[in-house]
């Protein structure tokens, strides 16, 4: 019961402070895994991002359900999801009553001028954590001290290919992320990552 209450509260905070869409919840989830190491690991979280991108539904909601499920089963998933949306419901039901005043408010506009770059910085920092897990061998490097041991070369090669396909090649860059996720899974199996 305490677990469910804690989950609800953690996701309530995430829903209240994550600004800028689905990915914006990611830094909060990393923060959560650092404070509750028994709930889920940073590596698991990277997998959850992939599953959330590849399944129907908004990413932020999918990740909340996933984290909740990993932590407390079906009830955990339910509580985490409800926790995430509760602040939205409260805030929107208030804002909807004064839509015009809210949109024209100088302070709201000015606060979001500062919040948008904040969101970008936080998501990028969360990205660094995933890079550490996916592209580097920090343990091997710490043990041997050899710089060549630091990089997971197979993973770096795949990342370079994906980067080109998602950003530079016209024919592939508009494809849905699920395509790249599935291809990466296949490459992972074929080349035993």
Partner 1 sequence: MIFWQLFVSFARVGVLTFGGGYAMIPMLEREIVDRRGWATSEELMDYYAVGQCTPGVIAVNTATFIGFKTAGNLGGIVATLGVVFPSFVIISVIAGIIRNFSDIPAVKSAFAGIRVCVCVLIFNSVVKLWKGAVKDKATLALCLLVFILSVFFSISPIVFVLFCAAAGILFTRMGVRGK
Least spacing, CB of residue 143 vs partner 1, in Å:
20
**What are the backbone angles phi and psi of residue 64, rounded to the nearest 5°?**
-60, -45
Rg (CA), the chain: 19
Contacts 24+ apart (CB under 8 A), 128-135: 129/30, 129/42, 130/42, 130/46, 130/49, 133/42, 133/43, 133/46, 134/46, 134/159, 135/159
Cα–Cα distance, 171 to 193 (Å, whole number): 27
Least spacing, CB of residue 80 vs partner 1, in Å:
10
Least spacing, CB of residue 36 vs partner 1, in Å:
13
- Give the residue with the Cβ less far from partner 1, 50 or 150: 50
Cα–Cα distance, 33 to 10 (Å, whole number): 11
**Planar angle of CA 60, 63, 65, nearest 5 degrees:** 110
Least spacing, CB of residue 39 vs partner 1, in Å:
13
Least spacing, CB of residue 86 vs partner 1, in Å:
9
Cα–Cα distance, 76 to 55 (Å, whole number): 19
- Give the residue with the Cβ less far from partner 1, 167 or 170: 167
């Amino acid at each position: 019961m305490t677990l469910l209450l804690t989950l609800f509260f953690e996701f309530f905070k995430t829903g209240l402070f994550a600004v800028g869409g689905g990915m914006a919840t990611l830094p909060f989830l990393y923060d959560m895994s650092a404070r509750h190491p028994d709930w889920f690991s940073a590596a698991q979280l990277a997998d959850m991002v992939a599953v959330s991108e590849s399944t129907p539904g908004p990413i932020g909601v999918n990740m909340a359900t996933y984290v909740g499920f990993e932590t407390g089963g079906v009830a955990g998933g339910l509580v985490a999801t409800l926790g995430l949306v509760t602040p939205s419901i409260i805030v929107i039901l208030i804002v909807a009553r004064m839509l015009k005043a809210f949109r024209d408010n100088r302070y709201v506009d000015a606060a979001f001028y500062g919040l948008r770059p904040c969101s970008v910085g936080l998501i990028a920092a969360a990205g660094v954590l995933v890079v550490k897990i996916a592209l580097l061998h920090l343990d091997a490097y710490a043990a041997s001290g050899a710089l060549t041991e630091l990089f997971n070369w197979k993973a770096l090669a795949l990342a370079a290919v994906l980067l080109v396909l998602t950003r530079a090649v016209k024919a592939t860059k508009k494809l849905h992320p699920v395509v790249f996720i599935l291809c990466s899974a296949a490459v992972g199996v074929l080349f035993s990552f």
